[in-house]
Amino acid sequence: MKEKLLSILCSLAMTAALLAGCGGAGAADTGASGGSEAAAGGSGYRIALITMDSIDQHWVTLNEGAQAEAAKEGVTVDFMSPDLKDDSKQIEYVNNAVAGGYDAIMVAANGPDAISGALKEAIAAGVKIVYVDSPANVEAEATFSTNNYAAGKTAGEELIKELENRGVTSGDIGIVNVNASTQSAVDREGGFREAFEGKGYNILETQYCDGDAAKAQNIAENYITQGVVGIYGTNEGSTTGTGNAIKASGNTDIVGVGFDKSDSILGLIKDGYLLCAMAQNPDVMGAKGVEACVKALNGEDLGGAVTDTGVTVLNAAALGGAAAAGGASDDDVTANGDYKIALITMDSIDQHWVTLNEGAQAEAEKHGVTVDFMSPDTKDDSKQIECVNNAVAGGYDAIMVAANGPDAISGALKEAMSAGIKIVYVDSPANVDAEATYSTNNKAAGKTAGEEMIKELESKGITSGDIGIVNVNASTQSTVDREAGFREAFEGKGYNILETQYCDGDAAKAQSIAENYITQGVVGIFGGNEGSTTGTGNAIKASGEEVVGVGFDKSDSILGLVSDGYLLCTMAQNPDVMGAMGVDACIRALNGEDLGGEVVDTGVTVLNASNI
């Protein structure tokens, strides 16, 4: 190895020219210089970023995140990826980075094995390795990637839900994958297939496109001629090709789902040719990857930590809502009157409801309508019923409501409807038909929370033990669903889920409950809403014990607890989207449009210490 290293060092002058002429997009190509050498202790570290290719927008965005962090750290990141997915080219780039004297390599491996030899030689030469998106079978400083198996399962569940909503409970499903060796895509397929276990659908043999959108379109078109009811694409090219094939066929009865976020994919979702896409956070991977490289080069032992950078389900409603909340008004919605809308949530204190109101107020201002936030100060059925009755007496045209439970408020809502008031649900529906519902798929999100906890426990070598649940109450459907999904994640595992304890959403009560769980020796605690999660994190912080806490909602307190390591993660909903889309729905219904009782999933993101 010494002789080989000497040979490499002697060839630096020759390889400098080679690096300048490589086919990937370098820092000079993108215009990003990587920053000065002032930061990182004046180190001037040089980092090579080698992804699967330099074309997919996923990798371009990852590079953008890396370049932004490099500028802060005062290091140089060169994006020196091949122009297409090819093991030999990726190996060549790793060898070039070693010969070029780079201090670290951030790499998204095409597959777990092909690149391993080259990476081992890089490590032997003193180069630090950090994985972004896709690891190889070589130990590295750290890995920043999506939990691809769980995300693939979510994609499958979204497809099943849509098919069942259409009354389709059987039929063939096609899969367009990259190749059989890219571990991230293989995991996405594995999770997707698991979602269909026990269902009446038939998963056809997977077809591979090497990530090329044109090849993917041809494959998807062949699936369509075979009469499939759904098609799944596992990466950007596969998903784009799938959506384009459905668009070209004119058959929107075929449900397409996929991965990644690009302008093409977002357009296909908005136009109805794709149901949804699992959007990763490549910019987070890039930024965290650079940060890890600097830490490792500064001598810090990262212990090979594997960090999930999260995923969001992007569908047409979430995209439209996000645009509305960001300032882009929906041109299709114009209020035909000076409408008054009452917004009645479970309480007026939790930051979740405050943020929902902010989204509603922003949308109301654009359309010239009035939204009054008239929620009770605490979660209480009688107070919420009183708010509904007050809205009726006050002559409001519509009520946006997040019901405490499915039944208690039903009588008051029926009376409101009899008085001609339009009802739209945000976050949590009651058992009364309404114009529309905008909420999180709470059971799926709860299951994701459970899977995140299991993954963390298993990574610590803990495969059994008691798990506590702190929930709001036994009647709030949204949190009941979250608990059901959480419990489902533990089926067949060696853990024991203790009897649920209720805190009525009060953080102080939740902390007391969580403290009692901790004295019982639990290994994990789940909080079902903002107050439950805040209390859980505070209890773990006060105890000093290594209990794994996961929960729901996004508040300053929760984000602080996640950042400080007292909570593993939280399921962040999009309450601003619920508020904005709820106002739009009220206006459309008051204008006479029949919304058909549509139910729209407004999405969720796993927020952990790496992506907040």
With CA atoms as reference, report the closest residue to 129 among 100, 102, 89.
102
For the chain, the domains span 2-146+282-309, 148-279, 319-440+574-608, 442-572
Percent of the chain residues past pLDDT 90, beyond the cut: 69
pLDDT tens per residue across span 510-550: 999 999 999 999 999 999 999 999 999 999 999 999 999 99
pLDDT at 8: 33
Mean pLDDT (the chain) is: 87
Using H for helix, E for strand and C for coil, what is the string for 516-560?
HHHHCCCCEEEECCHHHHHHHHHHHHHHCCCCEEEEECCCHHHHH
pLDDT at 319: 67
pLDDT tens per residue across span 556-587: 899 999 999 999 999 988 888 899 999 999 99
pLDDT tens per residue across span 438-448: 988 889 899 99
pLDDT at 43: 66
Q: How far apart are alpha carbons 287 and 275 in whole angstroms? A: 30
Contacts of 14 (CB under 8 A, 6+ apart): none
CATH (residue range 148-279): 3.40.50.2300
Lowest-pLDDT range of 132-136, 259-263, 447-451 = 259-263
Domains 2-146+282-309 and 148-279 share a fold: yes
Q: Looking up tokens 């936030």, which residue turns up?
A: 373
pLDDT at 332: 56
pLDDT tens per residue across span 260-303: 888 889 889 988 999 999 988 888 899 999 999 999 999 999 99
CATH classification number, 2-146+282-309, choose in 3.30.70.980, 3.40.50.620, 3.40.50.300, 3.40.50.2300? 3.40.50.2300
- What is the mean pLDDT of the segment spanning 338-347? 95
Span 442-572 CATH architecture: 3-Layer(aba) Sandwich (3.40)
Distances (CA, A) of 359 to 220, 344, 354, 398, 554: 38, 14, 9, 17, 15
Q: Check pLDDT > 90 for residue 152.
A: yes
pLDDT at 569: 95
- Helices 556-563, 530-543: axis angle to 10 degrees equals 40
Q: Is the dihedral of CA 587, 592, 597, 598 positive or negative?
A: negative
Q: Check pLDDT > 80 for residue 133.
A: yes
From the CB of residue 10, how many other CB atoms can be counted at a distance below 10 Å?
A: 10
pLDDT tens per residue across span 188-222: 999 999 999 999 999 999 999 998 899 999 999 99
CATH topology (fold) of 319-440+574-608? Rossmann fold (3.40.50)
Q: How far apart are alpha carbons 588 and 595 in whole angstroms? A: 8
pLDDT at 604: 78
pLDDT at 409: 95
Per-residue pLDDT band at 231 (split at 50, 70, 90): very high
- What is the mean pLDDT of the segment spanning 143-172? 92
Lowest-pLDDT range of 24-38, 160-174, 364-378 = 24-38
Prediction pTM value:
0.49
